[in-house]
Amino acid sequence: MRYCSLGSGSRGNATLIEYGRTRLLVDCGFSLRATEQRLAAAGLSPHQLTAILVTHEHSDHIKGVERLAQRYRLPVYMTAGTYLGMGETALPVELIRFGQELVIGEIRVTPVPVPHDAREPCQFIFDSGSHRLGVLTDTGMITPLITEMYSGLDALFLEANYDPLMLANGPYPPFLRARVGGQLGHLSNQQAAGLLEAIDMSALKYVAIAHISEKNNRPELALGELSRVLDGWEGELRLAVQNHGLPWQDITGNTQPHLAHIGSR
């Protein structure tokens, strides 16, 4: 199993998960043309995709979903609330129901409900049968269910959206600061680190920091906070960025301990 990010941040998100001949795209927050270009940079054609999974209806996650799905005849999976939240659309969808796993091609997918200011948001855990990858972004707080579901993973794509001091003193108006930092907003660097402290990390070898705010965070702050709780951990810590995403990460091979440097791609 391997995964990559086509881009992660407030200007667009898309994450690829691949196992065998199954390739799942989680969200598509870029225009059709930009998505095609980013897929090409990852060595793929849209024709090679198996399905699109949507976490929630915010524009930085769904901007290109409808056009990509229609042009390449891709099935789309989302919750009923997300479908309603998208508004008028002729897009046929497969509905996600919490408590029910999906089997898409060679990958078993578990949807996880998360607190976020959307109609019925979810995140996902992907299981190849021998390795498990968790994707967790756009989450306002860590719930007991999240701690339970994201324990025992081999890899984790984890939001560290903001630094509290930068958010408090940044350019956002008060209502937007309250939204981002609230229980239905995003995870701070400290909340992301707290999840790592709370979960079973005995199998965890790969962590990628995702959805970093360009105005309320800095890569070195997120990396520093997570590195602090990963002291002595023998694994790889990476960084997904807005413009270049994150290259393919193979979570099945052997790894040498590595902490990503600032600006890594």
Q: Is the pLDDT of residue 258 over 90?
A: no
Q: For residue 45, what are its two tokens? A: 């054609």
For the chain, which domains are there? 2-259 (3.60.15.10)
Give yes or no for residue 263 having a pLDDT over 60: no
**Residue 115 in 3-state DSSP?**
coil
pLDDT tier, 264 (very low <50, low <70, confident <90, very high otherwise): very low
Give per-residue pLDDT as tens, 53-81: 999 999 999 999 999 999 999 999 999 99
Classify residue 101 as exposed, middle or buried by CB count within 10 Å of its CB (0-12, 13-18, 19+).
exposed
Q: What percent of the chain is modeled with pLDDT above 70?
A: 95
User: How distant is the alpha carbon of residue 95 from its chain centre?
Assistant: 19
pLDDT confidence bin for 217, thresholds 50/70/90: very high
pLDDT of res. 88: 85
In the predicted structure, residue 189 carries a pLDDT above the cut 70 = yes
Neighbours of 16 (CB within 10 A): 21
Q: What is the pTM of this model?
A: 0.94
Q: What is the pLDDT of residues 135-178, one digit of tens each?
A: 999 999 999 999 999 999 999 999 999 999 999 999 999 999 99
pLDDT given for residue 89 in this prediction: 85
Question: Across the chain, where does the E strand assignment appear?
Answer: 2-7, 14-19, 22-26, 51-53, 76-79, 94-96, 102-104, 107-113, 122-127, 132-136, 155-159, 206-210, 236-239, 246-250, 258-259
